[in-house]
């Protein structure tokens, strides 16, 4: 015997219960850093002195954005983490928002 839907009155797939076509994720999938795959490529170029770039990857409460939200790879995220930590230590970025 087949299972019935909870709301068996309606055969419409676009009802309020979440039926119909759904997007898998709401975030964009483009990477923030250019693809530098080549023989001289050693990883993403991120420096702790580039405060404007680092602020783009931080929330308003001075937390780092997640990889999914920032659109970075794991290697780029590690480089960002180290650069943000160095910039915080050098007092270029805040530890918390004021």
Is the C-alpha dihedral spanning 41, 47, 53, 56 positive or negative? Answer: positive
Kindly indicate the confidence band of residue 83, based on its pLDDT and cuts at 50, 70 and 90.
very high
Q: Residue 31 to residues 8, 21, 65, 84: CA-CA distances in angstroms?
A: 43, 25, 14, 19
**Residue 8: left if φ>0, alpha if ψ -120 to 50, beta else—which one?**
alpha
Question: What pTM does this model have?
Answer: 0.58
pLDDT tens per residue across span 26-78: 555 555 665 556 666 666 678 899 999 899 999 999 999 999 898 888 888 99
């Amino acid at each position: 015997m087949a299972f019935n839907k909870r709301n068996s009155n309606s055969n419409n797939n676009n009802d309020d219960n979440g039926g119909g076509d759904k997007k898998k994720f709401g975030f964009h999938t483009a990477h923030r850093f250019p693809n530098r795959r080549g023989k001289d490529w050693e990883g993403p170029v991120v420096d702790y002195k580039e405060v404007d770039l680092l602020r783009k990857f931080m929330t308003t409460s001075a937390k780092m954005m997640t990889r999914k939200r920032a659109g970075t790879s794991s290697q780029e995220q590690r480089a960002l983490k180290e650069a943000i930590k160095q910039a915080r230590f050098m007092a270029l970025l805040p530890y918390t928002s004021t």
